[in-house]
Amino acid sequence: MRLSFHVRVYITLRPSVLDPAGAAVTRNLQHLGYGVAEVRIGKYVEFTLEAMSETDATAQVEALCDQVLTNPVVETYRYDLLPAPVSAQS
């Protein structure tokens, strides 16, 4: 039986990579009086995935993150793998 998952991927720049957009937002927030420091801006990607098992789903998510969704040279990621909401079954 195929299982459905809901996947949330959080992508951020590696700490060693300069994030000029994050730096600009940091300065702006500080200018407004917020005690904010070290803003890092990333990406959020969500999708549904069908897989044979949770192990299979994990393998697929990591493969597609490494291959497509992120560039490992400059980015890292983490993800949540959730059971998809169960739809009405016949």
Partner 1 sequence: MQFGIVVFPGSNCDRDAAYVAQELLRQPTRLIWHEETDIQDVDVVILPGGFSYGDYLRCGALARMSPVMAAVMEHAHQGKWVLGVCNGFQILTEAGLLPGALVRNRDLHFICDQVPVRVERTDLPWTQTYTAGRVLTLPIAHGEGCYYADAVTLATLERQNQVVFRYCTPAGRLELAGNPNGSLNHIAGICNEQGTVLGMMPHPERAADALLGNADGLGLFQGLLQAAALV
- Give CA–CA dist 59/2, Å, rounded: 15
| Contacts with partner 1, 19-38, as mask; x by CB under 8 A | xxx--x--------------
Closer residue to partner 1 in complex, CB, 19/51: 19
Q: Give the shortest CB-3-to-partner 1 separation in angstroms.
A: 27
Pair 42, 10: CB distance under 8 Å: yes
Span 43-72, contacts to partner 1 by CB under 8 A: 68-69, 71
3-state helix, strand, coil in the chain (%, to 5): 30, 30, 35
Residues that bind partner 1 (CB under 8 A): 13, 16-21, 24, 68-69, 71, 73-74
